[in-house]
C-alpha cells in the first residue's frame, strides 16, 4: 500500500512545499492546517500541512515521515489557511514564512509543550450518561461524584480541577473516583493569564444610539457576508458605539465571533476597556507586551471558543476565532497596520481577504480614511457609512493658526524670540487659562529628544556613523542618539569636521518643550509621553490613567497622544510644530500631516466645556494645514487626489518598492542597476502594464551600516505586478557578494 502523502509548508525562504508521509499513528491528527513536526536537514522543524499530495514534488525520492502532530485541532482552519496562501501569493513571500508569522511565537518551535506556558490540571468528561436511570444506577452510592459529574457537564464538559474542588467543597478523592470509573480524565492544560483582566472594566454606560449611529448599525447588520464597509465618522461622532452595537448582534444574536484591530493597543486602553465593559470575559486582549506564554494562552482560548472577541494590533487579524462574523479595523488609515518586515502585509487588506473567506463583514472606521479606502468607497467596492456630527450636539473645536514666521517677534530680545518659536504668546496664554480653570491641555510635538540635531557655525551636522541621518540630542541622560540604529555617543565640545567650538542645537524635541513648560508653569503637572518615557510594559496606560484621573494638567507627547483618547476635561490642544513631517520626501507626507493634525484636534472639546485647538506652523497655506483647520476631510481629498494622480501614486495606481542593500556602496549601486535592467527586459513583454522607476538611492541612503538603493514598480492592475515581483524574486541572480539583500515591499506606506 502506498503511504498517504501531504504537502507541508516550512519556515524556510524557499518558494515551495515539502512532501512527507503520514504515519498510521498520526492519520487522524494530520489534516490541512495542522502543525506537524518534521525532519528537515538533520533537525526537527515545525511546519503546516497545506493539503494532500500526489507526490509530484518528490521527484522519485523516498518521503520522510512526519514525526509528530502536536495539536488536537488544526492550528489553521480553512479561512486562515486560505488567507496564508493569498498572502504568500500577493506579497510574494514563501508560504511557510507567512504561516509562521501568523502563529504565536511559542507555536513555531519544535516542542510539544512550551515550558514558558504554565499548565494546570483540568478535568474532562470522558463518557456521557444520557438517561436518568443510568445515572441513578452509576451514582447510587456516590452522591458527591454525581454532583461533580453534573457540575462538569454544566461547565461544558471541562474545568480546572482546583476550581471544581473549590466550587463543591469536596476532596481530590472525589475527582479520583470519577477518573477511576472511566467517567472523566485529568489532563494538563495551559493556564490563561490575561494582564488586561487586572484593569477594572468600567460598567457600560447606558447610551441610546443616535439616529446616525442606528442607521449605521442597521446597515452593518444587513451587510452581505464578505462585504466591506467604510465608516467615516468625525472625531467624537461615536464610532466605537457603532462597533459595540454591531458586535452585540454578531455575538449574541448570531452566536458568531469577531476580531477588533486597533493601531497600537498600548495607546488605546480606553477603547479596549469599552469592549471589555460590554463583553467581559469573552474578550481576549492580544497585547504586544504579552509574553509568548500569555499570547499562546489567549490564542488557545479563542480557538476553543472560550473567548469570542480578539482585540489587538495588526497580527490579531490571524486570531483563530471560530465562526468569524465581523472584523473591525479601527483608525484604518494608520500606518502601523503595515508590517515593517517580511511578510510585509497590510492588516487592513488581510482583514478584507479573511472576511471574504469566512463570510464575515468588515468595518473600516476612521475620521480621516486613507485615500485608498476612500477611493474604494467611491467606486462602490466598499459601502460608505457616515457619522457627520459629534454625539450630543457637540461641535468640533475651533482651530486657530499661529503663524510662527510672524509670531516670533522680530526685534524682540533673542531669548524671547527663541522662546516664542516653541511657545507662541497665544499658546502660552491659552495654557495659562486652562491651568487657571483647572482644565487639561494636550500638546503635540512629533519629535522626541531635546534637539533634532547639533551643528557647528559652518553648518556641519553631527551624523550617525552607521546611518545617513543626523543624531538627535537627548538630555537625561545627556548624549546624541540615532533614532534608526540606537547608536549613542557623548556630545563633543568641538566640531569633528572643522574644530569649531560653538556647537548649536537645532530643532525642538519633546524634552525641550517639557523643560520650557516647567520653567513657564512651575506649578503645572506636566506628563511627557513618547518612546523615551514609555519603555515599560504598562507605561502608556499608566500615563493615560493619570490624565483620566485629573492628575495631569498638560500632557505633552508625540503622535502617541493623537489617537483614540477621549478625555472630556481636555479643552485645549496645541500643536507645537505642524510642519514636522510635512516636507518628508514621501508621497504620503501631506496625507500623514493632515491625518495627524485632524486626529489630535479631535481630542479637544469632547466634554460639555467645549474646547479649542491652536496650531503653530510656518506653512499656514499648506492644504494639509488649512483643511485640518477647517475640519474638512472632503476638501483635503479633493485637493490631494489630483496631486497623487500626476505623477501617479496610490490610490491612482499600485506600488511595489524593491530595496537592495549591502555593506559596499558601489556594489549596491551596481546590483540595483543590474536588477533594474533585468526587470526592464521582462517589462517589455508586459507591454506597459507595469512601469519601472529607478534605480536610485533611497531617501535614507544608509541604515545600520547598509547602503540602500531602490526601484519602484508601478501598475494599475494587481496581477501583472505580482507576476513581475515573483519572477524577480525567484529568478534574478543576486551577485555572489553575500552581504547583498533584496527586500520587497508591496503597497508600501512610505518609500523611505
Ligand atoms: P469616536 O471614536 O468617533 O471619536 P467615541 O466612540 O469615542 O467617538 O465617542 C465619543 C464620546 O461620545 C464617548 O465618550 C462616547 O461614550 C460618547 N457617545 C457615543 N455615542 C453616544 C450616544 N449615542 N449617546 C451618548 N454618548 C455617546
Ligand atoms: Zn544610526
Tell me the pLDDT tens digit for each residue of 288-341: 777 777 888 888 899 999 999 999 999 999 999 989 999 999 999 999 999 999
Q: Comparing C-alpha atoms, which of 645, 563, 654 is closest to residue 603?
A: 563
Protein residue closest via CA to atom 15 of ligand 1 = 238
Q: What is the pLDDT of residue 155?
A: 63
Highest mean pLDDT among 55-69, 113-127, 250-264: 250-264
Q: Strand pairing partners for 124?
A: 158, 185
pLDDT tens by residue, 566-591: 899 999 999 999 999 888 888 999 99
List of residues 6+ apart from 290 with CB closer than 8 A: 195, 298
Q: What is the pLDDT of residue 697?
A: 94
Residue 215 pLDDT greater than 60, yes or no: yes
Q: What integer is the mean pLDDT of 731-748?
A: 88
Tell me the best of 215, 240, 263, 395 to mutate to test the pocket of ligand 1, counting ligand atoms within 8 Å of each CB and taking the most.
240
Q: Counting atoms of ligand 1 from 1, which one is nearest the CA of 210?
A: 23
Q: What is the pLDDT of residue 537?
A: 64
Ligand nearest to the CA of 241: 1
Burial letters 325-359, b for 16+ CB under 10 A, else e: bbbbbbbbbbebbbbeebbbbbbbbbbbbbbbbbe
pLDDT tens by residue, 181-209: 999 999 887 665 555 555 666 666 778 99
The alpha carbon of 490 and the centre of ligand 2 are apart by a number of angstroms equal to 14
Residue 99 pLDDT greater than 90, yes or no: yes
607 close to ligand 1 (CB < 6 Angstrom) = no
The alpha carbon of 404 and the centre of ligand 2 are apart by a number of angstroms equal to 31
Q: Counting atoms of ligand 1 from 1, which one is nearest the CA of 274?
A: 16
Q: What is the mean pLDDT of the chain?
A: 89
Ligand nearest to the CA of 213: 1
Q: What is the pLDDT of residue 486?
A: 87
Neighbours of ion ligand 2 (CB under 5 A): 464, 466-467, 482, 484-485, 487
Protein residue closest via CA to atom 14 of ligand 1 = 566
Q: What is the pLDDT of residue 191?
A: 62
Burial letters 138-170, b for 16+ CB under 10 A, else e: bbeeeebbbbbbebbeeeeebbbbeebbeeeeb
257 close to ligand 1 (CB < 6 Angstrom) = no
Q: Counting atoms of ligand 1 from 1, which one is nearest the CA of 235?
A: 4
Q: What is the pLDDT of residue 49?
A: 97
Question: What is the CA angle 590-594-597, rounded to 5?
Answer: 135
3-state helix, strand, coil in the chain (%, to 5): 35, 25, 40
CA distances to 331, 335, 445 from 609, in Å: 26, 32, 25
209 close to ligand 1 (CB < 6 Angstrom) = yes
List of residues 6+ apart from 53 with CB closer than 8 A: 5, 6, 7, 17, 19
Q: What is the pLDDT of residue 60?
A: 80
* Region of residue 62 (phi > 0: left; psi between -120 and 50: alpha; otherwise: beta): beta
Residue 359: helix, strand or coil by DSSP?
Answer: coil
The alpha carbon of 715 and the centre of ligand 1 are apart by a number of angstroms equal to 41
With pLDDT > 70 as the criterion, what percentage of the chain qualifies?
Answer: 94
**How far apart (Å, rounded) are the C-alpha atoms in residues 36 and 26?**
10
What is the CB neighbour count within 10 angstroms for residue 587? 17
Q: What is the pLDDT of residue 115?
A: 43
**How far apart (Å, rounded) are the C-alpha atoms in residues 368 and 364?**
11
Q: What is the pLDDT of residue 197?
A: 59
Q: What is the pLDDT of residue 572?
A: 96
237 close to ligand 1 (CB < 6 Angstrom) = yes
Residue 607 pLDDT greater than 70, yes or no: yes
The three cell numbers locating residue 450: 531635546
Q: Comparing C-alpha atoms, which of 438, 452, 445 is closest to residue 510?
A: 445
**How far apart (Å, rounded) are the C-alpha atoms in residues 164 and 568?**
45
Amino acid at each position: 500500500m502506498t503511504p498517504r502523502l501531504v504537502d507541508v509548508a516550512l519556515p524556510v525562504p524557499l518558494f515551495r512545499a515539502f512532501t512527507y508521509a503520514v504515519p498510521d499513528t498520526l492519520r487522524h491528527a494530520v489534516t490541512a492546517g495542522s502543525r506537524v513536526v518534521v525532519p528537515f536537514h538533520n533537525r526537527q522543524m515545525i511546519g503546516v500541512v497545506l493539503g494532500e499530495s500526489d507526490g509530484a514534488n518528490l521527484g522519485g525520492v523516498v518521503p520522510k515521515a512526519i514525526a509528530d502532530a502536536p495539536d488536537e485541532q488544526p492550528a489553521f482552519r480553512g479561512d486562515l489557511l486560505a488567507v496564508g496562501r493569498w498572502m504568500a501569493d500577493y506579497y510574494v513571500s514563501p508560504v511557510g514564512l507567512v504561516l509562521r508569522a501568523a502563529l504565536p511565537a511559542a507555536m513555531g518551535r519544535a516542542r510539544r509543550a512550551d515550558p514558558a506556558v504554565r499548565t494546570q490540571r483540568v478535568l474532562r468528561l470522558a463518557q456521557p450518561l444520557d438517561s436518568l436511570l443510568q445515572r441513578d444506577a452509576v451514582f447510587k452510592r456516590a452522591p458527591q461524584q454525581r454532583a461533580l459529574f453534573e457540575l462538569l457537564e454544566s461547565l461544558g464538559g471541562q474545568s480546572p480541577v482546583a476550581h471544581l474542588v473549590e466550587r463543591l467543597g469536596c476532596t481530590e478523592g472525589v475527582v479520583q473516583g470519577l477518573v477511576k470509573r472511566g467517567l472523566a480524565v485529568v489532563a494538563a492544560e495551559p493556564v490563561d493569564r490575561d494582564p488586561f483582566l487586572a484593569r477594572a472594566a468600567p460598567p457600560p454606560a447606558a447610551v441610546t444610539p443616535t439616529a446616525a449611529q442606528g442607521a449605521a448599525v442597521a446597515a452593518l447588520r444587513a451587510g452581505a457576508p464578505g462585504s466591506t464597509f467604510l465608516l467615516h465618522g468625525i472625531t467624537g461622532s461615536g464610532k466605537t458605539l457603532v462597533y459595540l452595537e454591531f458586535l452585540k448582534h454578531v455575538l449574541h444574536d448570531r452566536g458568531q465571533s469577531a476580531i477588533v484591530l486597533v493601531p497600537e493597543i498600548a495607546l488605546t486602553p480606553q477603547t479596549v476597556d469599552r469592549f471589555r465593559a460590554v463583553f467581559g470575559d469573552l474578550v481576549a486582549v492580544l497585547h504586544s507586551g504579552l509574553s509568548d506564554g500569555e499570547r499562546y494562552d489567549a490564542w488557545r482560548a479563542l480557538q476553543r471558543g472560550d473567548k469570542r472577541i480578539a482585540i489587538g494590533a495588526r497580527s490579531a487579524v490571524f486570531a483563530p476565532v471560530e465562526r468569524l462574523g465581523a472584523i473591525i479595523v479601527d483608525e484604518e488609515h494608520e500606518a502601523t497596520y503595515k508590517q515593517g518586515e517580511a511578510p510585509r502585509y497590510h492588516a487592513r487588506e488581510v482583514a478584507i481577504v479573511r472576511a471574504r473567506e469566512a463570510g464575515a463583514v468588515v468595518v473600516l472606521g476612521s475620521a480621516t480614511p486613507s485615500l485608498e479606502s476612500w477611493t474604494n468607497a467611491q467606486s462602490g467596492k466598499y459601502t460608505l457609512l457616515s457619522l457627520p456630527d459629534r454625539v450630543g450636539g457637540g461641535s468640533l473645536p475651533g482651530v486657530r493658526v499661529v503663524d510662527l514666521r510672524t509670531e516670533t517677534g522680530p526685534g524682540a530680545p533673542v531669548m524671547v524670540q527663541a522662546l516664542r518659536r516653541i511657545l507662541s504668546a497665544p499658546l502660552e496664554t491659552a495654557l495659562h487659562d486652562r491651568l487657571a480653570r483647572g482644565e487639561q491641555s494636550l500638546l503635540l510635538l512629533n519629535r522626541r529628544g531635546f534637539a533634532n540635531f547639533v551643528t557647528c557655525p559652518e553648518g556641519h551636522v553631527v551624523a550617525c556613523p552607521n546611518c545617513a541621518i543626523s543624531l538627535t540630542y537627548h538630555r537625561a541622560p545627556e548624549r546624541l542618539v540615532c533614532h534608526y540604529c540606537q547608536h549613542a555617543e557623548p556630545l563633543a565640545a568641538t566640531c569633528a569636521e572643522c574644530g569649531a567650538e560653538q556647537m548649536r542645537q537645532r530643532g525642538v524635541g519633546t524634552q525641550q518643550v517639557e523643560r520650557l513648560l516647567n520653567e513657564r508653569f512651575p506649578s503645572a503637572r506636566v506628563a511627557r509621553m513618547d518612546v523615551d518615557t514609555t519603555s515599560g510594559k504598562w507605561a502608556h496606560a499608566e500615563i493615560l490613567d493619570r490624565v483620566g484621573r485629573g492628575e495631569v494638567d498638560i500632557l505633552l507627547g508625540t503622535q502617541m497622544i493623537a489617537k483614540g483618547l477621549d478625555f472630556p476635561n481636555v479643552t485645549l490642544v496645541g500643536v507645537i510644530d505642524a510642519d514636522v513631517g510635512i516636507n518628508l520626501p514621501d508621497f504620503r507626507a501631506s496625507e500623514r500631516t493632515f491625518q495627524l493634525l485632524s486626529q489630535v484636534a479631535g481630542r479637544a472639546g469632547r466634554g460639555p466645556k467645549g474646547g479649542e485647538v491652536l496650531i503653530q506652523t510656518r506653512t499656514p497655506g499648506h492644504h494639509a494645514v488649512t483643511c485640518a483647520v477647517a475640519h474638512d476631510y472632503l476638501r483635503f481629498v479633493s485637493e490631494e487626489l489630483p496631486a497623487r494622480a500626476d505623477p501617479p501614486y496610490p490610490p491612482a495606481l499600485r506600488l511595489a518598492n524593491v530595496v537592495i542593500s549591502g555593506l559596499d556602496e558601489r556594489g549596491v549601486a551596481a546590483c540595483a542597476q543590474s536588477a533594474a535592467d533585468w526587470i526592464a527586459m521582462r517589462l517589455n513583454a508586459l507591454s506597459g502594464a507595469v512601469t519601472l522607476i529607478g534605480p536610485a538611492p533611497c531617501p535614507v541612503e544608509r541604515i545600520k551600516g547598509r547602503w540602500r538603493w531602490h526601484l519602484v514598480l508601478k501598475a494599475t492592475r494587481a496581477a501583472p505586478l505580482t507576476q513581475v515581483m515573483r519572477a524577480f524574486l525567484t529568478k534574478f541572480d543576486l551577485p555572489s557578494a553575500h552581504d547583498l539583500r533584496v527586500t520587497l515591499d508591496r503597497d508600501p506606506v512610505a518609500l523611505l
